[in-house]
Chains A and B, each alone.
Chain A
Amino acid sequence: MDASVQTASTTNQSAALANASKVKMRGKNVNVFYGEKQALFDVDLDVRKHQVTSLIGPSGCGKSTFLRCLNRMNDTIDVCRVQGDITLDGKDIYDPSVDVVELRARVGMVFQKPNPFPKSIFDNVAYGPRIHGLANSKTELEAMVVTSLQKAGLFEEVKDRLDGPGTGLSGGQQQRLCIARAIAVSPEVILMDEPCSALDPIATAKVEELIDELRSNYTIVIVTHSMQQAARVSQRTAFFHMGNLVEEGETDDIFTNPNDKRTQDYITGRFG
């Protein structure tokens, strides 16, 4: 190996190690209620910078509820009440002074089903920068769209039809378009709620490859029902069960030798 390349890769590795210990988002004593029903019980979970954290667990375990707390998506549900502390870079995101729109620009979200706007591919990606006033000129906006599409690994496939409708793309392409739309506003954290469950294996592989690439620039939290996907894409895994965070740790450890019997039973297919 070339000496300079080796040094660069060592530097990258040590940078990655240094980042690994940094906490980007922190949930402390998080309790969530939907009306009378409590959905999360005293959840403490750190989301580390430039790492992919996967949230796994059977349906109704609270993983999506926790994910939605991270950018206050739960605010849109009237009966939902969130208690406890959730911080982004040490600042409480539920503080009354926080601008929710700005928060959601910093903590973006990709949903289970690809949901492009009924607009052109270009406008889908340009939407965020436009409403947040991020571009000063048309050229700057175009550059933002191209970069976002490139980062989402979609540009080469759509560069000749940027004016075509976003809904005309295949499911996998639509999901990558949604990822491009999410990253166009330069978020710091990307939340993904089962981003591959509606995709075929090839499209899934492309999104997984993308998640791994995005990690160097963003912090990612992903909810997934596929244990293999969690094992493949994430560095840390948190297992939820009946509203409790049962176990959180290095993904490698969780999937080879979990501490808790409930985690063991779930990932080996003994319940859920």
Chain B
Amino acid sequence: MTDHTISVYDAELRTLAKHIAEMGGISEGMIGDALRALVRADSFLAKRVIADDRDLDNLQRRVEEDAVRTIAKRQPMASDLREIIASLRIAGNLERCGDLAKNIARRAIALQGHALPPKLVHGIEHISELTQAQLSRVLDAYVTKDVETADFVWRNDDEIDAMYTSLFRELLTYMMEDPRNISSCTHLLFCAKNVERIGDHATNIAETIIYQATGSVPSNERPKQDNSSTNLVH
């Protein structure tokens, strides 16, 4: 796109995008580390994730302050306005992703010394891989302003939902088999839910990228396969 007559305005928008990209990098790293910490029972790594969250929060605050200042100074219109609103929204989504990763890291520390059933651990690893791939794809789409990829991410959250529902059932089965599993399985259940929520944030970011580029959000209902909040297991 053509540059603004006021070149500082372009610099301000570039800084916003740069900080969002940085936030994306940090949150991706935190999510990967939190899950490694969980699977490998690595409390050192888990503590690093918890510490990293502060950087993410600071960056989000920075994005918010910069966005508010740019709105006040430049009275942005049309695509500029959407870009700034998008940066605010995406910063919020990424900050939440960081919180969820931090929560997984805390649970990884709590689960230290508990033997976890390998099948469940594989399940968590699998849902995480799917989610991380979604997040990474959507962050690339943000940088390259690629609406097609964003749309692909937006449509592909159902696999994560389905995976989460199946993990949910499996964890319940373990708990019913032996009540001594309840404590660790509840932690794992929350971890799985957190991962699933990160997937939701990735689709929110995808929606925002589509909004930024086109001015409207996708109106069709997204396919959903997470039945865990409406089903009872007997």
- In contact, A270 and B4 (Cβ under 8 angstroms): yes
Which residues does chain B contribute within 8 Å of A255, judged by CB atoms?
Answer: 77-78
Given known A-B contacts A228-B75, A267-B77, A256 and B5 have beta carbons under 8 A apart: no
**Interface pair A256/B78, CB less than 8 Å apart:** yes
Tell me if B3 is interfacial: C-beta within 8 Å of chain A. Answer: yes
- Total chain B interface residues with beta-carbon distance under 8 A: 19
| Residue A249 at the chain B interface, CB threshold 8 Å | no
Task: State whether the Cβ of A265 lies closer than 8 Å to any Cβ in chain B.
Answer: yes
Whether the pair A271, B5 counts as a contact (CB closer than 8 A) is yes
Binary contact track A257-269/B, C-beta < 8 Å → 1, others 0? 1100001110111
A188 to B153 CA separation, bound complex (whole angstroms): 54
B174 at interface, CB cutoff 8 A: no
Residue of B nearest to A228 (CB): B75
Report if A227 contacts B (CB, 8 A).
yes
User: In terms of DSSP, what is the predominant structure of the interface of chain A?
Assistant: helix
Number of interface residues of A (CB under 8 A): 16
Which of A231, A256, A267 is within 8 Å of B82, CB to CB? A256
Q: Report Cα–Cα, A263/B3, bound state, in Å.
A: 14
B96 to chain A, nearest CB (A): 26
- Measured between beta carbons, the chain A residues less than 8 angstroms from B9 are 269
A–B Cβ pairs within 8 angstroms, 14 of them: A227-B75, A256-B81, A257-B215, A258-B78, A264-B78, A264-B79, A268-B4, A268-B76, A268-B77, A268-B80, A269-B5, A270-B2, A271-B2, A271-B5
B contact residues vs A (CB 8 Å cutoff): 1-6, 9, 74-82, 214-216
Q: A264-B78, A269-B9, A269-B74 are in contact. List 17 more A-B contacts (CB 8 A).
A: A227-B77, A255-B77, A256-B78, A256-B81, A256-B215, A257-B82, A257-B214, A258-B78, A263-B78, A264-B79, A267-B77, A268-B76, A268-B77, A269-B6, A269-B77, A271-B5, A272-B5
